[in-house]
Amino acid sequence: MKNVCNKIFKFRTHKDLLTNKKNYFKIFFTINKHEFTNKIEFSDDGKLSDKYYKFDEMPIKLSEFLNEQTQTLNEVVEDQNKKLEKASEMIFKTNDEKENFLKNKSLPFKIPKKVYKSFLEKGMLGNAVKLYYKNLEVFIIGTMYERIDVLNIYKMLNYIKPDMVMLQMRPDRMLTKIDKYYNKGNTELVQRLIRDPWEIQPSLIAKKKMKNLLVKNGYAISSSKLMKEEIVKEQEMYELNPNHSERLTEDAISMISLWAEQKDTKIMIADMPELLLLEKLANTLTLLQIRNIFQEVFREFPLNPDWEPRTTLGTAINLFPEIFVNHSDSFLAHSIDTYSNLTEKENKKLVIFSGYGQTESLPLYLNYDIDRNSLMEICQVPERYVSFIQGEDTLEILAEKWCLLSLIINGNQTKLADSTSLFIDYLINKYAKDDMIKTGFNSLNHLKSRTRFLFDKLYKEKSEEAFKYTGEGYEIKKKNFMRKIFNDPLLNSQLL
């Protein structure tokens, strides 16, 4: 224990510790079995505190976890509720509230913000859950993919041998005209989400990189199978934007796709589509709420370097999980349910690669939300927001909402991403038509061009505003750092 602590003192930050963990810990994809959080503290005498990291209780190997008996969904949820109750965190505040919820199917299922945040904090070191759901054996993997060895993903898939792999990716960033399937039915949409592995591969360069990594580590890879001429030609025309996933890295997606192509296994992409997320949030939140979220996200971004992914959306996920994670959980849960209805084989294996924290929240949605919604109902967008004083949101208000949300989701870029730009055009066309019908205005093109001009102008202004808030965050960080130095006797003595 003393030697471990001495080695850890060599690191200057928590991020250094996790980044260099290969030097001091066994190189396995581990599970946060003992619910450690992402903080390291020192006691008053300068020794490493065991309040957060208990080094005598190291995370277990993933292989050991996979050999454990698979629980039913009810058992998993019951264990979660016991842990939450022990930590004074409850999904339902009282038993009466729970009974009322279970009886009234019209009540929506929501995980409280405090509980969601605890899931994210506990999941930062990685976690995994396996459970039986109907005719499926489901393996949910959630971690910070930036900090794991991608070879362990390949090993794990070889061990489980899943019949289907599900990745948390927004489908409308890679599939054209996906919106046509939102009203056709659950089955049609999920069948559309199930793709060939090469379609999910980020690029041929990434594919070659993962192949070389596997060969270097002694894995037998069939080059002829992976590099078929017709597939290479198709993929050259199908290259994806490297930023097409918020929770998984390019290397992780590439390795999963490579394994699936080797084993002739399909991949399902499932997450709340960006277009739907933009529209739903714009129509359920007020402009003031979105402005406040925008300000807090960009100001907090530089203050929390351990939140990953290191993007503004990663910051939004940690600050407002009840807004930015619950839609993903709901979409994933109902995609799992619909897929289970498509399969006839008993105990078919499904592996899900999701963001950290969702290993805890996904089972809850599978347990509490399936009988209240369907995938089609989740894809339905509410009418535009109506306030008591101003009435229905105008095109001008909607344009600002879309602008702020686009910057939060995609980050402060000088140019709007091509896919998001198409989504904005779609929304402008939809709501301009709606305005024309309601007002009797006879020039659709004028309404569309005017709204797009306003959006582009707002995007430039709000980008500058975002830089200002980020700058304020850095200034707060500097002040906090200097305050810590002057208030800490040990650090203060080093300045003399």
Question: What would the pLDDT profile of 319-348 be if each residue is shown by its tens digit?
Answer: 999 999 999 999 999 999 999 999 877 779
Spatial distance between the Cα atoms of 343 and 15, rounded to a whole number of angstroms: 43
CB 123 within 8 A of CB 357: yes
CA 26 to chain centre: 27
Structure tokens at 135: 């005719």
Spatial distance between the Cα atoms of 435 and 447, rounded to a whole number of angstroms: 9
Computed over every residue of the chain, the mean pLDDT equals 82
Amino acid 426 reads Y
> Which residue ranges make up each domain of the chain?
1-60, 62-281+322-378
Closest by CA position to 127, among listed 339, 481, 363, 459: 363
Predicted confidence (pLDDT) per residue in 275-326, tens digit = 999 999 999 999 999 999 999 999 999 888 878 788 899 999 999 999 999 9
Spatial distance between the Cα atoms of 110 and 175, rounded to a whole number of angstroms: 29
pLDDT of residue 292: 97
Give residue for tokens 């379609």: 199
pTM, entire model: 0.83
User: Residue 219 — pLDDT band, cuts 50, 70, 90?
Assistant: confident
Dihedral (Cα; 353, 357, 360, 365), 10-degree rounding: -80
CB 240 within 8 A of CB 174: yes
pLDDT of residue 17: 32
Amino acid 293 reads I
Structure tokens at 276: 């739907």
Rg of the chain's alpha carbons, rounded to an integer? 24
pLDDT of residue 119: 93
Upstream peptide bond of 309 is cis (omega within 30 degrees of 0): yes
Share of residues in the chain with pLDDT > 70 (%): 79
- 3-state SS, residue 474: helix
Q: How many CB atoms lie within 10 A of CB 149?
A: 15
